[in-house]
Structure 1
Amino acid sequence: MSYQMLIGGLSNREFLMEFNLSGPGFLAKNDDGKDIKRLWRIWNKCTMETADGDLCYEVQYWENDHGHDYVYAWPAGEIKSNYPTDMDAWEENYGDAWDAKYGTVGKIWNASGQATKRPFDDTPGKARKELKKQKITVKIREFDSEVDEEVDEEMDKEKDDADPFVAPPPRQMNQFEIRVPSFRADVPSAPMADENVEMSSSVAGGTARTECVSRGLQDEDVDVSDLLSPLARRPGASSPLGVNRHQTSSLGSPAQQSRLLSRSLLSDEVEDSEMNDLDSLKSNLTFQAAPTNTVSRNATTRSILAVSHASDSLTPEYSQNADQTMDDALQAVYEESQLEFAAARDAETGSESPSGQFDPSQRVIEENQFENYSQKLIDAHSESVEGLFLAALDLTDMPCDDCVTKRKEGSKCDYTDFISYLVVILLGMDALVLEHFVKGDLPKAEKRNAALQKTLRKLKNLGPKEKCLSIYAQYLVDKNGESPCTKVLLEVLGKAELYLQGRDEKDLQSGTFSVRVDSIIGKPWSLTESVAGKRKYIKDEARAEKCLAWIENVKHRLSSLPADQPLERPLAEVGYATTPIERLDQHARHSSSNYLMNLCEAICRVLYGHRYSIEQYVVFHNFHLTHAMYAEIVLSRIGLVYTTQGGGFSHHPAGISQPGANGVGKNYYTDLEERSFADSDFLELVESELRRKNELAELYKGLVTTAAEQEALVEDLRLLKRSIEQAMEEDAQQKERLKGMLKDTEPFMKLLQLVKEL
């Protein structure tokens, strides 16, 4: 039950706290026709009827009631349950001062009788209780921050004109731990596209105020690149975009819709009992306060994995503000990465550009580097997915090293946070696919494992021109998924050298062989052109140099392997595609493809017919804008497909071919994210990773404890040794004293002996 009075009845602003809000002031309705309101002002605290009556709070909502600005007196328990963060802020700022002034005499609400009290049943609390029984979802729209800033400033100006009083800014709230309610936080359905509605936290689970803003955007796709304009600061926010999740949040920061790299661990179908089953999991996890105006697009109150790998803490976190922080940080880093890659972007079919390219001539080949890297990745994956991610980024001598180094040293996002955000890429991969991708035996395993075969077939089950942003992998194998043996590959490499041999001068042997290679797949090649030095796959000197470097690196890798044994990891290539089936078909036809891979396959076809060929797989469906760049980088490193280690055919830095991802409509990513984060297998992987990190944390704690105990024991032993040494030293001194005493008494003993004889 609440009571209301007109705002004109209030004059004392001593304890007024106002929150920065924007948007229209008319009421929004949920599906039941109930009003949805946002808390705008907390005027005072009071007691009902008498000085020792029940405590209430005088509050005012942003949305007016049919043209009237009412102030409501809410029972303390109910208003605190609906707006806990806001009420705690008021108590922190004014609680002590209010107690000092009214603690003994009380402050009776509306004692002057300036307005008639009456029950008010149509309240946000009532609406919340009704909404909790339903499953309602919200479609969230995203906007360019500059537009938001202009609209917010205009609305703020209108508000200031209507009410000249400017309340002092809300006090900055430090990070604090909060309890996550076990109930499902249902959210009202979205309004029409042309409406402007913002929702209160009373329908969002009661943990923080939330906003869902729609400013006239329609449902059709928009160019995602429009969403990536440079963002220096969120409108009205107190911290720049690069701020990480460990910094403070502001009560007045406006809404910024998450673009969902992170998401709730549980779908909105989960019942209360199922939520309670996870109490054991969340008991050891740290919860942080969310920014006051963020929206979680799932109807639950917990956000996905924010894995921490700091040296001082191995404890995983669920961070309620992970969605927004992650989105801001990744946006800034992604834009920075795009600028870095712009100079290096060069189609593989065009001329080689030195800009941004890895220079193989500057590289010193390490002994057994490929095998060492392979074992390092396999061992890391056996520990954790995050460990695999870190191991992959720690590898060196790869064309994309520069990008990794800049991420480690960059100022846009803390590197530890950056890793935490992108681990979701590997968690989004099928576990079986990832396991064999790491081992490098995906083609062989696919022939022998029905479950893996089914998964890979499903990933590749797409139309010829169907848009499905993906990462693919290609391997040189036989029909059983086995790599050619060392002896065969050395023969292929020798023929590749012969193929290159006649480029500078007329060489009949080279020209005769090369025309067979250049004609075996695709359009026939002219013998005259071949003898004259023209080659289908090596069109200029830059390609020739890269091809020779690749041959040298593969030979170096093969030098320590048995001659008649297939390679455990076949030569491979990893790439990104917007329409993967069409792109893989281009590779198969040697059109707009990787010339090193094409040359190798063509030579195999000439020498061995169809015994060896390039097998193609789709291994990952991207579900976030940044995956086109970062998933290709990470998976290229995990797959060891670069020419620099002799592991494959990839010679360009991964990540440079991502502009196509920016042209995909925002709804594409939204739909994929919804499906990905509703996938029980994905959620199981996330929880498994968290359990594994908890185990590592416990192990680390045990090791620290054991080390401390051992150190204490060593110290005790040192003290004991020192005591023994001191005792031995004192004993030696005592012996010397006794010897001296005996020597001193010797004359007396002789005298006694003489006396005795007499």
Structure 2
Amino acid sequence: MVTTRAKHYGHNSDIDGQGLSSPAPEALSDRRRRWSHLLHSQHYQPIISEVLDEELPKYENSTIINATDRVSHMRECALILASAPSVFAAAVNGNLVRQMASNVQLQGEYTVIHERAHDQPSIYIHLLADEHGIAPTPNQYLVIGNMVFDYLGEAHNCEHALHVDNITPPMVTKSASDQGHRKYIHTTNRSSKRVETLHRLFRGIQNRWLETPASHRDTPFQFPPGECGYSKDSHNRLAQHRAHQSSNYVMNLVEDICTYLHRIGQFKQHFLMHQFIIYLIFRPSQAAIAEIFCSGLLQVWVENGGGFNAYPAGRSVATARRVSIVEWHSHERWIREKSPVVENMRALKEKVDEWRKALEWEEEAVEDSDETKIFADEYTGDMYECF
């Protein structure tokens, strides 16, 4: 039986005490679906604006990026979308794991990206799905969330913690577990910050379950929960994640919970984190904003149940400064030659020019004349006919 471990939930809130409810916020899946359609149609501007509207306020008092330099960030985001490979589009579409298993053309393109990532900074992702690329259902995800909640409990009422903590090394002894030790909560002591983060994940999973219509809660998510990151050497970084070393403890805990639920037979499917490199960074100014933008575009935050990123992106991109100017020029040359960035940016500029011309008008008031009076009379007559 699926439970939310809470007594009262509602989709709308009473905003004035008179029974009037505010419109329900856009569901994560609806937002992702809309952005996927816009990307496919090469309508970059609304995607970029919406993602930056959501992400830039997080950096108002940060030294990571200048949150007020919106134009520069928009330019970099436009270059990201214009140069993005098909693997990036598949990630946005939500079907990357399935497509990679069957699409020969995508496999070939990914081989090239995978190889270049040995020497070029890149953006990688993890996607939670079974061996066939099928994501959990909302009901299954809620079971995972409830297990996270149990894991946070006191020693005497957390029956699964010892088993979860011994799915992957390092192992935890029964005596330590009985005393309340939790591998993914403790650093030197029980970390209040990690506890709070996992509570945010639990609430995010609940919210994603609640925003899903009841009739769809046994249907796999179109957009799998995920994680997004930057690395100068994504191959090495992904190997660390696979070994749960210097990794994302939220993601690691969820993966171990999924393995445990599969082993005890509660889940027939074995959900795992599937790793992909989805974007090659080709300008030093892209490093931070690429991770920020991709994380926002893929909605991988614990708060909304979209994934396992708990902290603002772009904080760990210092390695981009180790890339020489010569190397950056080489990366940009390759992108210009091998990606559709030049063609896509030209098309984008043409659209902008068209709109600029369309919006040109006389700011000064037009003086009355016989011609304008005739036009006004005709316009008024037409308006009356409409009614």
Both proteins in one fold, TM over 0.5: yes
The amino acid that maps onto 2:104 is A
Work out the CA distance in 2 between the residues paired with 1:528 and 1:371.
Answer: 43
The answer on 1:552 being equivalent to 2:203 is yes
The residue matched to 2:123 in structure 1 has which SS? Answer: strand
Q: 8 Å contact 2:88–2:279 — kept in the other structure?
A: no
Cα shift at 1:532: 0.8
Aligned length: 339
Work out the CA distance in 2 between the residues paired with 1:680 and 1:374.
Answer: 24
Equivalent runs, 1:255-294 vs 2, <5 Å? none
The residue matched to 2:303 in structure 1 has which SS? Answer: helix
Which whole-Å deviations, capped at 9, do the CAs of 1:596-628 have from their partners, x for residues lacking one?
Answer: 111100000001147210000001111111222
The amino acid that maps onto 2:130 is D
Work out the CA distance in 2 between the residues paired with 1:400 and 1:639.
Answer: 19
Q: 2:138 aligns with which of 486, 489, 503?
A: 486
Q: 8 Å contact 1:373–1:395 — kept in the other structure?
A: no
Equivalent runs, 1:396-545 vs 2, <5 Å? 399=58, 407=66, 410=68, 413=69, 415-430=70-85, 432-461=86-115, 466-502=118-154, 506-507=155-156, 509-510=157-158, 512-539=159-186, 540-545=191-196
Structure 2 residue runs of 5 or longer lacking an equivalent are 1-22, 264-268, 367-371, 383-387
**Equivalent position of 2:31 in the other structure:** 373
The amino acid that maps onto 1:528 is S
The residue matched to 2:50 in structure 1 has which SS? Answer: helix
The answer on 1:655 being equivalent to 2:314 is yes
Work out the CA distance in 2 between the residues paired with 1:604 and 1:637.
Answer: 25
**Equivalent position of 2:5 in the other structure:** none
Q: 1:581 aligns with which of 221, 227, 235?
A: 235
Q: 8 Å contact 1:477–1:614 — kept in the other structure?
A: yes
Identity percentage of aligned residues = 23
Q: 8 Å contact 1:399–1:652 — kept in the other structure?
A: no
Cα shift at 1:488: 1.3
Work out the CA distance in 1 between the residues paired with 2:207 and 2:376.
Answer: 52
- TM-score if structure 1 supplies the norm length? 0.41
C-alpha distance 447-497 of structure 1, shift in aligned 2 (>3 A) = same
Structure 1 residue runs of 5 or longer lacking an equivalent are 1-364, 722-758
Q: 8 Å contact 1:633–1:654 — kept in the other structure?
A: yes
Work out the CA distance in 1 between the residues paired with 2:111 and 2:185.
Answer: 34
**Equivalent position of 1:153 in the other structure:** none
Work out the CA distance in 2 between the residues paired with 1:399 and 1:530.
Answer: 37
Q: 8 Å contact 1:467–1:580 — kept in the other structure?
A: no
Q: 2:49 aligns with which of 373, 390, 408?
A: 390
Cα shift at 1:672: 1.1
Which whole-Å deviations, capped at 9, do the CAs of 1:126-165 have from their partners, x for residues lacking one?
Answer: xxxxxxxxxxxxxxxxxxxxxxxxxxxxxxxxxxxxxxxx
Work out the CA distance in 2 between the residues paired with 1:373 and 1:713.
Answer: 47
The residue matched to 1:618 in structure 2 has which SS? Answer: strand
Work out the CA distance in 1 between the residues paired with 2:206 and 2:283.
Answer: 38
The amino acid that maps onto 2:79 is V
Cα shift at 1:577: 0.8
The amino acid that maps onto 2:179 is A
Which whole-Å deviations, capped at 9, do the CAs of 1:572-594 have from their partners, x for residues lacking one?
Answer: 11100111111001111111111
Bigger RCO of structures 1 and 2 (CA < 8 A, at least 6 apart): 2
Higher Cα radius of gyration: 1
Work out the CA distance in 1 between the residues paired with 2:245 and 2:322.
Answer: 23
Cα shift at 1:366: 6.5
Q: 1:684 aligns with which of 337, 340, 343?
A: 343
C-alpha distance 400-445 of structure 1, shift in aligned 2 (>3 A) = farther
- TM-score if structure 2 supplies the norm length? 0.77
C-alpha distance 719-469 of structure 1, shift in aligned 2 (>3 A) = closer
Q: 2:293 aligns with which of 612, 629, 634?
A: 634
**Equivalent position of 2:376 in the other structure:** 715
Structure having the larger proportion of residues in helix: 2
The residue matched to 1:501 in structure 2 has which SS? Answer: coil
The amino acid that maps onto 1:534 is H
Q: 8 Å contact 2:234–2:277 — kept in the other structure?
A: yes
The amino acid that maps onto 2:81 is L
Work out the CA distance in 1 between the residues paired with 2:374 and 2:29.
Answer: 42
Q: 8 Å contact 1:537–1:599 — kept in the other structure?
A: yes
Q: What is the alpha-carbon root mean square deviation over aligned residues?
A: 3.2
